[in-house]
Amino acid sequence: MKLDNIYQEEKKSNFAKVSEIIITMASRPSGFIGLSILIFHVILAFISPYVAPYDFKAINPTLMLQAPSAEYWFGTDDLGRDVFTRTILGGRTALTITFFGSLIALLWGGLLGIFCGLVGGKTDDIVMRIVDAFLSIPWILAMLLIVSLLGTSTEVLIPALGFFYGKGIVRVARAATHDVIAKDFIVSARARGHSNFSIIWNEIIPNVRDAILVEGAMRWSWMLLGFSSLSFLGFGVSPPTPDWGLMISNARGLMSFAYWSVIAPIVGLSSLIIGINLTADAFAKALGIDRSTKAPV
Amino acid sequence: MLFLIIKRILLGLITLFIVSLITFVGTEILPGDACTTYLERQAFGEQLEACYRRLGLNVPAYERYVSWAVNAIQGDFGYSLSGEMPIKEVLGPRIKNSLVLASAAIFIGIPIALILGIVTALWRDKLPDVAISTVTIFAMTIPEFISATLLILIIAIWLEWLPGIVIVPTDVSLLELLPNIILPVIAIAMIMTAHMARMVRSSVIQVMASEYVQMAILKGVPYWKMVFKHVLPNALLPAINVVALTIAWLLGGVVVTEVVFNYPGLGRLVIESISNRDLPTVQALAIILASIYVSINLLADLMTLMLNPRLKTLQIRK
Amino acid sequence: MNEIIQKVNNLSIGFKSKKGEEILILRNISTNIKKGETVGIVGESGSGKSTLALAMMGYVKHGLYTIGGECEFNSSNLLKMKNRDLEKIRGRKIAMIPQNAGQALTPNLKIGYQIDEALQLHSDLKEEEREKKISELLNKVRLPSPETIALRYPHELSGGQQQRVAVAMALAGTPDLLLLDEPTTGLDVTTQAHVLELLNFIAKDTGTSMVYVSHDLGAIAQVSDRIIVMYSGEIVLEGPSREILKKPIHPYTYGLLKSIPKLSLAGLPQSMPGSQPQPGTMHRGCSFFDRCDFSEEKCKNNSPQLEYLEELNTSVRCFNHKSLMNDSQVNQTVNEIKTSTQDKEILNLSEVSISYAKQKLLDQVLNRISDDNPTVKDININIKKGETIALVGESGSGKSTILKSIAGLLRTKGGIIKFDQNRNLSSDLKERDPNDLRIIQLIFQNPDESLNPNHTVEEIIAQPLKLYFGLKGEELKKNITDLLQKVRLGEFYMSRYPRQLSGGEKQRVAVARAFAAKPDIILCDEVTSALDVSVQAAVLNLLQQLKEDFGTTYIFVSHDLAVVRAISDRVAVLYQGRLCEVGPSKDVYQFPSHPYTEVLLGAVLEPDPDIKPKLVAEDIVEEKPPQKGCSFQGRCSRILGDICKNEVPPWQLTNSGNSIRCHIPLKELQKDQIN
């Protein structure tokens, strides 16, 4: 007996569906917190250039490593730059790059996964072998190779991140497709003689969409983690662009006497990752998918 | 059964082969090559020729690949560019150090993850679950370099309990290494443990909802006996593979953590060799890390095969 | 006999909905179970019968909770008892036999261990004694070679064997009360009859009280002394088995009994309108009001109380039971089915064989199929336009495989499938042109799986209309409305999703989708198996009506011989992918018949305490058809000897036009068959 069958709803517009999902997400405390943090960061990313009190690259040797004060809320760093200014600007690059990176990951990972799940057999075997091989190179080594090969521009980072974080989506999409194509409604569509394209578009995608979107949301938080690790190692955004990973890396050596310059970016980055993660979690729960069984690969 | 095992091993080897191809091609298309990087401005004429000959770069790519692969199988990865040392010798102590770090994290992480996962599942939605689950969400999302930095700030700098930065030579003895690895191990184990605990939790919850667990309850099996006999064997079996993937993923975290703590392991070597464009070393690292990944997964596959009665008899029935 | 061992008192169980309302699954249930009696609880899915059985063990599922009332066992309330005390009652005093033993046996533990566990918990036997006891128990449930079975894992046994193990496990604690939750649902007909017979034997042998929960009145009729009929969380009728089945004085039971097809009656049973209300949607008044033929104004707003009638020893929840009392000899009337069979042949299967075996590489290269013992072999059937032909047999008989080949989903290995005498259909989907695909449509067993959960009813029915006829806009909409009307669904269903429909409604949508293609042939794969009994008759009647309107031909696959009897013109009996008997249905259901047909007919459970199943052959499960000889040789009780093992039996024609494939001469066949 299905307990949630009780409420008879009518067909809804897409807008109504999306808003219903968001309301469901926000109705849990963790989802509400996650969504609020994420929205806060997104808004901040849009408005920060206009509200930042100082110039993020203005070096002032006389103001080196000042403790937090009314004038410099979060203190200043080793070059005398305002930490508050750099902190509120520090998420923009990361957020933009990983957002578009996730979209790319979703797109190619989802499509390839559906394709593999659908054709099965030898083609599927070979493609999955290759995906497996890519998986078995630690992401950080692969990313470092690419970055040292092609540089650290946005045009390189977005597709590279998208590529490496998409392989997990391939697996999820493939597994979901496998489950769906065994169902009788696919058999029925095939027996009627629908084209492969029509079967993928009308029958498969609506049924695997949720699983893939949840996976994509999850990838986003991991990609952010990966990207900031790259920045931290000096292979991400190049100075003087403010970036949390880079700021933490720079301020790390001085933290025994100027801890403020490392705390602010840590709070910024951690809260964003947690926000995305909680949101992804709530999103999965709102769609009825358990995401905790998935490995972070 | 035997056939299945052989099949898995073969698949693992094929994966390694593809990895070696990918890294070989990857490093091949880097602008410039080992010699131009090494010789920098003197990279022309006689000297360049000599270097090519010495490193064997004057033959076609596929021949180089074959000879490299043949040597690599025997454990010979050629010479590193920067130190002009055999890569084998550079790697040896580094592998040992990283292995100490990673295995400490695994041996501490897995039991804790199991306990946390089982506790949260059995007390689902009760206080222990809510508390632990909240903590694991944080532990899981915070990047290693942040937790490592915070650990140094709090434990090493403010409290001064443990050394923050590892300042030891590469070939240090195990005993001397010990106090230095505590903080790095915590940083690595945190994220991994949190992930595994969540997986164990959901697997146990799934099994707890199964009909056979309901049947065991209705049979009058006492609670803890039910948990150990009927629930855990069935819940942990599928978790093995996922745990293996998590461990493999941890390799990336090791790199970052080693850099933060200045730890003389493979991870720091990765960064160093890439910064120096030491391509032979990068190739060797890629293949070594990939084989660690492949063998962990193979091990997990084999364990699942051994423990699952369903798969054990699959061959006989078909 | 009169000692009460379990007393359910005013029990209500429910759950909190997302909106925080309290929704009841069980409403004020009171009943007693006496020592040594077998009580059958019957109801449709969602009637609360399983929840009631579990509550009798003091178990309430996760998410549900007790709202009020008690389940008293030995004068203590099980629902308030601590887990530690319950452990001493569960398995020892009250034991459960689950619905699906395959799911209910722990997969990583051997059979022997699982029974031993119950013995350890609930007896004082020492280890060697326990070992002997395990063999004894497995013997008692008639499992072959108990010692080897004990060492097996659950998944290595067949469904029937798993169910027997579950029975043995329940008996290990020598319980006073056995609860059986749909113990035979999901088993093959012959296995089901055997398990029921075993349960009857155990009830007599041990004197245990039993509570038998099932949706199947046929099974209930075979085992119970007393029957409780549940509807939407309430007891609506309770009394001695014979009275309930012969004089059903509640309109629901009355209608239910009338809507069940019987072997003895050709033609479609009367259908009951509507379906059971979902929990939480009930208002004031009688919960059966919407579907009742006897309802009055007062039924709408007042809910009737359970009323005890001394003369029948029966309790009934109906204001109008008196009007039924006079009329309640269930004189089942059936709607004769009109044969619309024409002389024109529409589909011809000749020498068709189908194989699931994978091709070896060499054979792939040479493009040949090497399997010399295919899953399905030697199928010769002529299907006339407008007829309904049924393929019957147990699981593994190849009936669905044949359907798949006709639909083009599975390539045939040999033989020819011809449509309309000239179009060759012995090909798979890719080689058929759209029109070939349109003329054959499928309806599946489980509408949950055959309807895309993300499409509305409108989108589902629009698919074939767009694909085959290119309809658009207003015309498309009009066609969809027409089709919905034909399957008796209102226009407002267009915007619904499948999950918002009941099982019967979903199957109607599937039927509408099939008819949207204006097909010549519709393949029906167990189309009523997943439906509740009260809905089944309605779907059968609908299918018959549509067939008469459109002149469609049905190929109807089912394991249920009574349903087949009701709807088909002709029947083909299959065993292990080989035909045993083909003929007009009225003749197949008479003797003489093939020994396998006899086995199948004997195993049918009818909702009548006077008709007992006849068990002719063992219920062994065969994995593969035999290499040579008769396909049924392994289980045949009338096997002649070497001739059956070595030679494929010939077709024999009876006077009535029935073909039987058996070595035994027709006269002999008839002689020993039970009438």
Predicted pLDDT at C521: 92
- Note which residues in 225-284 of chain B have CB less than 8 A from chain A: 242, 245-246, 248-249, 251-252, 255-256, 259-260, 270-271, 274-275, 277, 282
The torsion angles phi and psi of C554, rounded to 5 degrees, stand at -110, 135
Instruction: Sketch out chain A's domains with CATH numbers.
Output: 28-56+73-293 (1.10.3720.10)
Rounded Cα distance between C412 and C161, Å, is: 33
Q: Would you state the structure tokens that stand for residue C491, as one six-digit string?
A: 């226009």
Strand residues in C388-428 grouped as ranges (E): 388-392, 414-419, 423-424
Q: Which residues of B touch A221 (CB under 8 A)?
A: 141
Enumerate long-range contacts of C449-453, CB under 8 Å, 24 or more apart. C449/A183, C449/A184, C449/A185, C450/A183, C450/A184, C450/A185, C450/A187, C450/A188, C450/C510, C451/A185, C451/C498, C451/C506, C451/C509, C451/C510, C452/A185, C452/A202, C452/A203, C452/A206, C452/A207, C452/C498, C453/A207, C453/C497, C453/C498, C453/C499
Q: CB distance C437–A9 less than 8 Å?
A: no
Strand residues in C248-375 grouped as ranges (E): 268-269, 307-309, 314-316, 334-335, 345-354
- List the single range of C353-367, C532-546, C645-659 with lowest mean pLDDT: C353-367
Question: Which of these, A226, A30, A58, lies nearest to A143 by C-alpha position?
Answer: A226
Predicted pLDDT at C573: 92
The minimum CA-CA distance between B53 and chain A, rounded to whole Å, is 24
Q: CB distance A207–C453 less than 8 Å?
A: yes
Residue B60 CB-half CA count within 13 A: 2
List Cα–Cα distances, A158 to A104, A130, A133, A155, A283, in angstroms: 8, 22, 21, 6, 24
The torsion angles phi and psi of A205, rounded to 5 degrees, stand at -55, -45
Residue C191, C-beta contacts closer than 8 angstroms, at least 6 positions apart: C159, C160, C163, C184, C619
The 10s digit of each residue's pLDDT in B36-88 is 656 656 656 666 666 666 666 666 667 777 777 777 777 666 666 655 667 77
Q: How many CB atoms lie within 10 A of CB C85?
A: 12
Residue C109, C-beta contacts closer than 8 angstroms, at least 6 positions apart: B229, B230, C117, C153, C154
Q: What is the DSSP letter of C7?
A: E
Instruction: Report how far apart the first and last C-alpha atoms of chain B are (Å, whole number).
Output: 12
Of C429, C446, C500, the CB nearest to A193: C429
Q: Give the residue-averaged pLDDT of C413-417.
A: 84
Residue A295: pLDDT over 50: no
Rounded Cα distance between C402 and C396, Å, is: 11
Instruction: Let me know: does C25 contact C13? Beta carbons within 8 Å.
Output: yes
Q: Give the residue-averaged pLDDT of A11-35.
A: 79
The torsion angles phi and psi of C380, rounded to 5 degrees, stand at -125, 110
Question: Which of these, A272, A94, A41, A284, lies nearest to B142 by C-alpha position?
Answer: A272
Q: Would you state the structure tokens that stand for residue B265, as one six-digit string?
A: 């392991």
Instruction: Let me know: does C461 contact C484? Beta carbons within 8 Å.
Output: yes
Average confidence score pLDDT of chain A: 79
Q: Give the pTM.
A: 0.82
Q: Would you state the structure tokens that stand for residue B156, as one six-digit string?
A: 């090493």
Q: How many CB atoms lie within 10 A of CB C199?
A: 24
Instruction: Let me know: does C306 contact C316? Beta carbons within 8 Å.
Output: yes
Residue C245 CB-half CA count within 13 A: 24
Predicted pLDDT at B316: 36
Closest-CA residue in chain A for C64? A3
Residue C205: pLDDT over 70: yes
Residue C514: pLDDT over 90: yes
CATH topology of domain C4-93+175-326: Rossmann fold (3.40.50)
DSSP, residue by residue, B275-303: HTT-HHHHHHHHHHHHHHHHHHHHHHHHH
Q: CB distance A5–C500 less than 8 Å?
A: yes
Closest-CA residue in chain C for B225? C117
Q: Which residues of A touch C451 (CB under 8 A)?
A: 185
- H helices, E strands: number in chain A: 12, 0
Element (H, E) at C33: strand C22-34
| Residue A4 banded pLDDT, cuts 50, 70, 90 | very low
Residue C41: pLDDT over 90: yes
Predicted pLDDT at A29: 82
Residue A292: pLDDT over 90: no
Question: Which of these, A141, A63, A50, lies nearest to B287 by C-alpha position?
Answer: A141
Q: CB distance C496–A11 less than 8 Å?
A: yes
Predicted pLDDT at C364: 53
Rounded Cα distance between C332 and C313, Å, is: 24
Instruction: Let me know: does B233 contact B293? Beta carbons within 8 Å.
Output: no
> What was the ipTM of the complex prediction?
0.81
Rounded Cα distance between C523 and A187, Å, is: 13
Residue A293: pLDDT over 50: no
Does domain C345-575 correspond to CATH entry 3.20.20.140? no
Is B10 exposed, middle or buried, given 0-12, 13-18 or 19+ CB atoms closer than 10 A?
Answer: exposed
Which residue in C94, C96, C108, C109 has the most chain B C-beta atoms within 10 A of its own C-beta, making it the best mutation to test that interface? Answer: C108
Q: CB distance A221–B203 less than 8 Å?
A: no
Domain spanning B90-317: CATH superfamily: MetI-like (1.10.3720.10)
Predicted pLDDT at C513: 93
Q: Would you state the structure tokens that stand for residue C178, as one six-digit string?
A: 């056995």
Measured over the CA atoms of residue A38, residue A43, residue A46 and residue A49, the dihedral's sign is negative
Predicted pLDDT at C204: 87
Residues in A whose CB is inside 8 Å of some CB of C read 1-11, 183-185, 187-194, 202-203, 206-207
The minimum CA-CA distance between A275 and chain B, rounded to whole Å, is 9
Instruction: Let me know: does C525 contact C442? Beta carbons within 8 Å.
Output: yes
Q: Give the residue-averaged pLDDT of C372-400.
A: 86
Residue C212: pLDDT over 90: yes
Predicted pLDDT at B83: 57
The minimum CA-CA distance between B223 and chain A, rounded to whole Å, is 25
Residue B3: pLDDT over 80: no
Predicted pLDDT at C282: 61
Residue B128, C-beta contacts closer than 8 angstroms, at least 6 positions apart: B119, B120
Strand partners of residue C228: C41, C238
Q: CB distance C278–A184 less than 8 Å?
A: no
Task: Compare A169 and B250 and report the one with higher pLDDT.
Answer: A169
Q: For C129-158, give the secondary structure using H, E and C.
A: HHHHHHHHHHHHCCCCCHHHHHCCCHHHCC
Q: What is the DSSP letter of B152?
A: I
Q: Which residues of B touch C100 (CB under 8 A)?
A: 211
Predicted pLDDT at A8: 45
Q: Beginning with the edge strand found earlier in the chain, give each strand of the sheet holding C570-575 in spatial order.
A: C440-443, C521-525, C553-558, C388-392, C570-575, C578-584, C659-661, C651-653
Rounded Cα distance between C353 and C412, Å, is: 6
In this structure, are strands C570-575 and C578-584 parallel, antiparallel, or unpaired? antiparallel
- H helices, E strands: number in chain B: 15, 0
Q: Give the residue-averaged pLDDT of C5-24.
A: 85
Predicted pLDDT at B317: 34
Angle of helix C457-469 relative to helix C503-516, nearest 10 degrees, comes to 10
| Residue C24 banded pLDDT, cuts 50, 70, 90 | confident
What's CA C168's distance to the chain center, in Å?
24
The minimum CA-CA distance between A1 and chain C, rounded to whole Å, is 6
Residue A263: pLDDT over 50: yes
Task: Compare C12 and C273 and report the one with higher pLDDT.
Answer: C12
Closest-CA residue in chain A for C465? A192
**Boundaries of every domain in chain B:** 2-73, 90-317
- The listed range with the strongest mean pLDDT (A147-156, A180-189, C295-304) is A180-189
The torsion angles phi and psi of A111, rounded to 5 degrees, stand at -65, -45
| Residue C633 banded pLDDT, cuts 50, 70, 90 | confident
Strand partners of residue C13: C26, C66
Closest-CA residue in chain B for C57? B218
Residue A16: pLDDT over 90: no
Strand residues in chain B grouped as ranges (E): none
